[in-house]
Chain A
Amino acid sequence: MRRGIRGATATALVAGLALAATACGGGDGGSGGDSGGELSGTVTFWDTSNDAEKATYRKLAEGFQKEHPKVHVKYVNVPFGDANAKFKNAAGGNSGAPDVMRTEVAWVADFANLGYLAPLDGTPALDKTDDYLPQAVGSTKFKGKTYAAPQVIDTLGLFYNKKLLKDAGVEVPKSFAELATAAKKIKAKTGATALYLRGDDPYWFLPYLYGEGGDMVDARDKVVEIDDGAGVKAFKTIKSLVDSKAAVTDATDGQENQLKALKDGTVAMAVDGPWDIEGARAGKAFKDKKNLGVAPVPGGSTAQGSPQGGWNLSVYAGSKNLQASYAFVKYMSSAKVQQQTNEKLSLLPTRKSVYEVPAVKSNEMVQFFKPAVDGAVQRPWIAEGNSLFEPVKVQMNKVLTGAASPEQAAKATGDAYRKLLKDYK
């Protein structure tokens, strides 16, 4: 341990004091590229898919080699939680960054703002752009240029255990108020808790906020909105759900705990996204795959909404193999690969034409999530977009543990936003 500490102390010193001292040169990556019209060299791809998805993605990514035999695809799975920081370290230090990065929708503007991404307009990476869903394109643009190609689109839905709700004799709740009422019946009849509430991840706060007609910021008029009435109400909703025992929550390990609770049938419902469909179906509560139902996220007192999310593919501006990287992005974002992704993982395509394919059309999850995605709320695609979450997380924890009142939490979040966004009101 003490050795560890000394290492950590050194790291803290080095990291804390000399963050910019990492500008050492180097970088790997194959040379090559566009020799005589045929692509060659290596394309390193950082994929952020989860454990249930990664084997499929590796196969799909390596499928590129069939079309371009001289190109070697180096597939690297980087856990979602570390991916943003890892890419920034590598790209900023100009050492070890991948050629192609799977970028979360909120990361594109951030990375592009720092100069890390190659603009894709006019390159082979963008193919048949008219085919993309308009809402999927929003996050790929920053200051008039396109920095990514949409890969998958998603939003949150309410996953529910059909059997538990039936045993309790309750309908799928349409609002969080209905959910709170149904919770007593569910507990009494089945012993299960109604909802697992992700108290550890601020992304899950958005449905509560949108349900009250609020938003984090208004990027057009440059106004911080989270500390108005809607923000306070949203904090109140999560607090009362947990206090009334309608929901259970955690401040850490929410992803694992939520999935486990859902799989084991200890909770009847959870707000989750399509990326956990495969994971949930692996649980004992869903041995009969039909037992997993998905409904729109419950609404608040005035509205209903869930955030639009998803993943894009971006090319690192310092890539040594730009041509092959563009081609790889084109391939991974193509209708064919999107269709295969959907067949294997039920993830939602970003191309209109893929939704016309019968196999995709008849996919139960697509039938649910497509309308949900169409109605999903787009976030402000600003460079600081991703930084807006951390203050919410801190305050959400505080509200749920009783360390702050909903009013204090909303105000503190707003103050943190104004610190980040210097020109906002």
Chain B
Amino acid sequence: MTLAVRVRRALGTHWYAWTMVAPVVLVIGVIIGYPLVRGVFLSLTDANEANVERNIGVNHLPATYKFTGLDNYRAVLSDGVFWDRLGWTVLWTVACVSLTFLVGLTLANMLNRTLRGRTFYRLALILPWAIPAFISVFTWRMLYNEKNGILNKLLAGGGIDAVPWLNDPTWAKLSVIAVNVWLGVPFMLVALLGGLQSIPGELYEAAEMDGASAWQRFRHITVPGLRAVSSTVILLSTIWTFNMFPVIFLLTRGGPGDATEILVTYAYRLSFIDSPRNFSESAAWGVLILVLLSVVAVVYRRALRKQGEVW
């Protein structure tokens, strides 16, 4: 069967499906595909704010940047800054994801039983999710204010010296992680609670009859029962946290110094704070981040598949 025939047959059989997905494909192509291709292209040039094509009213300034091959990548990868930022970004991602997952799992288990006021607790715990991220981050920033924030006022009441929440490199790292965990727990909680509720109760009853302890039930029923859900949420959470721009940027702007600067906030710095804005190097950082995350996702999927997961 030739290709043309095959295509014709596929279209003939599935024309309705193709028509239905066309709008989505189009929209994704415009909002993801085009920027992606454009970004990869820019990362291979020396484009910056001063040499890209611009229209200032009626004046037209043509583009004057040129193709430079892999120069940007060479420059980024041979610069210590990239590796420093990568180290902290990995640490930040691992810390945030593991803490978020553990806290979410604990809370989900606590709420997966009948207790008085369960609806209230569930609602209260989902609240951080319902508030727009930037509002909660700004609130946290006010709480963290070393001189006038509520946290230090409370500590002062207990006779404890003011903590430099965002003014000390180590504290700032802990503070941003704490905020991100606070923001991320509701998602974990909801996802894992859903997973828990899909585990049949009979399994627990049978195990109890057999004399399994609470820990054994958790270890051998809950954990395997949650595997499908948890592997998905961990991967998603890793990707989100790796690129968690708003928390870092709004809390510390990457400071103090560059203590909390992750890869995406540094890419932002290149393309929005420096002048002229360095589009090409920033794009190179963006592509490298994408490659890193793709590799992580592929490796993770492989590892899961080996364990018998099917997605």
Contacts and interface: CB of A to CB of B under 8 A. Distances in A.
Interface of A: 1-2, 4-6, 8-21, 23, 25, 27, 85, 88, 91-92, 94, 110, 113-116, 199-200, 248-253, 257, 260-261, 316-320, 383-384, 386-387, 390, 393-395, 397-398, 400-401, 403-404, 420
B248 to A, nearest CB: 11
Nearest to B240: A5
A127 to B, nearest CB: 24
Contact of A21 (B34, B169, B172, B268): B34
B55 A21 contact: no
B277 A14 contact: no
Closest 4 CB pairs of A and B: A17-B39, A318-B57, A4-B133, A18-B35
Interface stretch (B19-27, B153-161, B255-263): B255-263
A394 B244 contact: no
Contacts of A110: 275-276
A17 B55 contact: no
A8 B271 contact: no
Contacts of A88: 49, 275, 277
Nearest to B52: A20
A403 B36 contact: no
Given A1-B186, A13-B286, A94-B54, A383 B275 contact: yes
Given A1-B128, A11-B245, A114-B276, A250 B167 contact: yes
Contact of B58 (A250, A318, A400): A318
Interface stretch (B103-111, B140-148, B210-218): B140-148
B240 A9 contact: yes
B204 interface: no
Contacts of A20: 38, 42, 47, 52-53, 279
Contact of B243 (A12, A85, A318, A320): A12
Interface in B47-90: 47, 49-50, 52-59, 61
Interface residues of B, number: 75
B40 interface: yes
B50 A390 contact: no
Nearest to A17: B39
B132 interface: yes
B35 A395 contact: no
Contacts of B245: 8-9, 11-12
Contacts of B243: 5, 8-9, 12
A94 B240 CA distance: 32
A400 B277 CA distance: 28
Interface in B132-191: 132-134, 136, 141, 145-148, 166-169, 172, 183-184, 186-187
A386 B282 contact: no
A9 to B, nearest CB: 5
A4 B132 contact: yes
Given A12-B268, A19-B282, A252-B256, 16 more contacts: A1-B187, A2-B129, A6-B240, A8-B244, A9-B240, A16-B268, A18-B36, A27-B57, A94-B55, A114-B49, A250-B147, A317-B59, A318-B57, A390-B273, A394-B255, A401-B169
Given A16-B268, A319-B57, A398 B136 contact: no
Contacts of B239: 9
B192 interface: no
A253 B141 contact: yes
A251 B252 contact: yes
B275 A19 contact: no
A94 B60 CA distance: 10
Contact of A17 (B35, B129, B186, B256): B35
A98 to B, nearest CB: 13
Nearest to A260: B148
A387 B257 contact: no
Most chain B beta-carbon neighbours within 10 Å: one of A2, A5, A85: A5
Given A5-B244, A25-B55, A251 B133 contact: no
B277 A19 contact: yes
B153 to A, nearest CB: 14
B55 A398 contact: no
B94 interface: no
Contacts of B50: 113-114
Contacts of B269: 390
B264 to A, nearest CB: 5
Most chain A beta-carbon neighbours within 10 Å: one of B183, B273, B290: B273
Given A9-B239, A397-B255, A401-B257, A1 B141 contact: no
A15 B141 contact: no
Given A16-B271, A16-B283, A390-B273, A115 B132 contact: no
Contacts of B121: none
A18 B272 contact: no
Contact of A1 (B136, B166, B257): B136
A397 to B, nearest CB: 4
A386 B145 CA distance: 27
A164 to B, nearest CB: 17
Given A1-B129, A20-B42, A94-B57, A13 B35 contact: yes
